[in-house]
Amino acid sequence: NIKCVTLGSRKNLCINQSVTRLQSLHRINDKCLDLQKDKSSKSSGGCPYLTEDPVQMVTFDDTIHARIRDIEEIVQAGRKSATCPYYGARHTAKSSEIICIPYNLLLQRSTRESIGLRLKNNIIILGKYTLFCLLDEAHNIIESVNSLYSHTISLDQILDCKTHLSKYFERYKNRLAGRNMVYVKQLLVLLDTPYSAAKSAQESNHAMSVSEFVDKAGIDHFNLFKILTYLENSRLPFKLLGFAVSETRKENSETANFIPTSVSPLSFMQSFLASLTDPDVNGRIVYNYSTDPHHCVFKYLLLNPADCFAPILKQARSVVFTGGTMSPIHDFIEQLLPSVQHDRLDVFSCGHVINSTSLLPICVSQGPTGLDFNFSHEKRVDTNMMDEAGAAIANYSNVISGGIVVFFVSYSYLDAIVKQWKSGGIWTRISKKKKIFIEPTSVGEVDKVLQDYSSTISRSRQTDFSTSTLTGSMLLAVVSGKLSEGINFADDMGRAVIMVGIPFANIASIELQERMRFFDVQVNAKETGSGITGKEYYENICMRVLCFVTGRAIRHKNDYAVIIFLDMRFKRDRIVAKLPEWIRNCGLTFPNQFGPSIAMISKV
């Protein structure tokens, strides 16, 4: 009897083929909004699935509430009743008791308000397999907040905005009231300031505080709060959008149908200006240099997600985070819940469903020839290291039946490995036992690759070994890629997961350096010295990614698999301590040589 509905994006819910064929989320959003604007046009007729018939909407609500439906079933219900599932689901949400929503609908206040989501006195549950708000797994919440509240603007976008706003001002300056004229003139001056900041910037990527940027740009005398209030109340971004579309269509009549008409040129600047009102401690301005000045980019990088998440904590009666890979939990609490008293926090962690004998985790520090495995950034490109990894994996292929999934730290390294293995004969060695598949570069090809990978494993079970030596498949994939999270490698699909190297993030990244510096400053500012340091943060994001990868193999209580960590650095105490507890409890072993690892795996 529970009334439940799932909300999603237009890309997931739209049933209008003229819209969905566009594929890109932004183009789908634009086209949908354009059809609504053109509803009165005789030539377009708007979208045939967007109805205002109250009887049809109530019927759709009743259909969705008849039982709990996933997002695909909501789409099917929309097709059957010729009702837009995107707007239909939002209508259904008004009478629902449980609403399953993606992160962005909950985390941004403007979006919450647009769908009528009230937090006060409600229970908010973040995670998979939970009630009320179903937002995937909660380990992504910090990254989602940081992403939603970080804003980027390029000099190209600024130039486009200034061009349209200047034309708008020239067209309507005699009709603008005094107050409106003042603010439009201020905006035109503000649109010049990033150029000033770019000219004074070094010819390299670097970061600065918000106040430093405001000073270099020469806009410290502007009241940004008043300008932002004016933009919201006057609806100038919306007005400029209509003006820009009209002018562009006149100038480019041949390409008029391809002009985005739902994103105002001023909206990017509005979001960026809003970031400049944040306290200095909460974020930094990152400048990405390009030899082409128009491609230079300014990005407001949010460093403190806690302030953005605070309204949800303040308004909701209870907030529950759930997920399978939320450890280290201390890291999570420090970043998102630093102001919450510890006696208000309840942390529950349960063990894995499998028996300890169903998993064999091994840290292998040497290859077959005795070469130490060290896949650090400097040493992993050594061809001897690549060949040693290939030789080890070829040996494992001889004793592991079914599917083997091998993860590498980056796409570029995967490409280098494939090239080296093919040139040196290792590819041929592995192919005698496993048909090799490579993670595709296109998302659209993922399903086909997985299907072929799975079907090869199925056929190998029925193989007459007098005619074929294949014992399964091998899938070469990338950590944090298209196959490292959310893919089910249960049973023979993943009898072994091999992690080549440790997936540390690129320490040269200026954004990562700023985040690490932020945590160090926070720790030093506390008298107790509590909190997480930049180094701990760096290690934690790596180990959390590693958790996603290792969790691909064991998917139910009767499953079994081998997890092989190829890198001598896995023996370090700090690394071992941050591996998932369920892996450590399954008898994590550290053979001194390569041979014993083969012997142990052969017994599985």
Q: Alpha helix (H) ranges present in 94-235?
A: 103-107, 109-114, 141-148, 155-172, 178-190, 193-200, 210-217, 224-234
Which amino acid would we find at residue 27?
R
Q: How far apart are CA 44 and CA 42, in angstroms?
A: 6
Beta bridge partners of 473: 403, 435
Q: How far apart are CA 261 and CA 251, in angstroms?
A: 15
Residue 442: what pLDDT? Answer: 83
pLDDT value at 257 more than 50: no
Q: How many helices (H) and strands (E) does the chain have?
A: 27, 14
Residue 135: what pLDDT? Answer: 46
Greater model confidence, 412 or 117:
412
Greater model confidence, 570 or 202:
570
The CA-to-CA distance between both ends of the chain, in Å, stands at 47
The half-sphere exposure of 537 on its side-chain side, counting CA atoms within 13 A, is: 24
Q: What is the pLDDT of residues 420-462, one digit of tens each?
A: 999 989 999 999 999 999 999 888 888 899 999 999 999 888 7
Average pLDDT for 332-357: 85
Write the CB contacts of 306 (distance below 8 Å, at least 6 apart in sequence): 335, 336, 337, 338, 339
> Mean pLDDT score of the chain, rounded to an integer?
85
SS3 469: coil
Residue 465: what pLDDT? Answer: 55
Which structure tokens are listed for 276?
A: 């400049």
Residue 491 backbone class (left: φ over 0; alpha: ψ -120 to 50; beta: rest)? left
Map out the domains of the chain as residue ranges: 4-139+309-344, 151-305, 356-602
From 61-65, 411-415, 416-420, 442-446, the region with the lowest mean pLDDT = 442-446
Q: How far apart are CA 362 and CA 544, in angstroms?
A: 18
Confidence bin at 503 (pLDDT 50/70/90): very high
DSSP state for residue 258 in the 8-state scheme: G
Strands (E) across 219-375 are located at 283-288, 297-302, 318-321, 359-364
Cβ 101 vs Cβ 117: under 8 Å: yes
SS3 247: helix
DSSP H or E run through 154 = strand 151-154
Average pLDDT for 490-500: 92
Cβ 114 vs Cβ 306: under 8 Å: no
Tell me if the bond preceding 305 is cis, omega within 30° of 0: no
Confidence bin at 128 (pLDDT 50/70/90): very low
Closest residue by Cα to residue 10 from 81, 82, 102: 102
Fold equal for 151-305 and 356-602: no
Q: How far apart are CA 87 and CA 135, in angstroms?
A: 19
Write the CB contacts of 477 (distance below 8 Å, at least 6 apart in sequence): 405, 406, 407, 408, 414, 439, 483, 484
SS3 3: coil
Confidence bin at 196 (pLDDT 50/70/90): low
Q: Is the dihedral of CA 217, 223, 225, 226 positive or negative?
A: negative
297-302/283-288 β-pairing = antiparallel
From 9-13, 66-70, 104-108, the region with the lowest mean pLDDT = 104-108
Cβ 29 vs Cβ 35: under 8 Å: no
Beta bridge partners of 123: 318
User: 158-174 burial string, b = 16+ CB within 10 Å, else e?
Assistant: bbbbbebbeebbeeeee
pTM above threshold 0.75? yes
Q: How far apart are CA 146 and CA 479, in angstroms?
A: 21
**Domain 356-602 - what CATH class?**
alpha beta
Residue 489: what pLDDT? Answer: 86
Write the CB contacts of 70 (distance below 8 Å, at least 6 apart in sequence): 6
How buried is residue 477: exposed, middle or buried, by Cβ count under 10 Å (0-12/13-18/19+)? buried
pLDDT value at 37 more than 80: no
Q: How far apart are CA 28 and CA 530, in angstroms?
A: 47
Residue 134: what pLDDT? Answer: 43
DSSP per-residue string spanning 274-297: HHTTS-GGGEEEEEE--SSGGG-E
Q: How far apart are CA 477 and CA 446, in angstroms?
A: 11
CA 412 to each of CA 74, 416, 423, 546: distance values in angstroms, whole numbers, following the listed order: 40, 6, 17, 19
Confidence bin at 463 (pLDDT 50/70/90): low
If you search the block for the tokens 């896995």, which residue do you land on? 570
Write the CB contacts of 28 (distance below 8 Å, at least 6 apart in sequence): 10, 11, 14, 19, 20, 22
Q: What is the pLDDT of residues 570-580, one digit of tens each?
A: 999 999 988 88
As a CATH number, domain 151-305 is 1.10.275
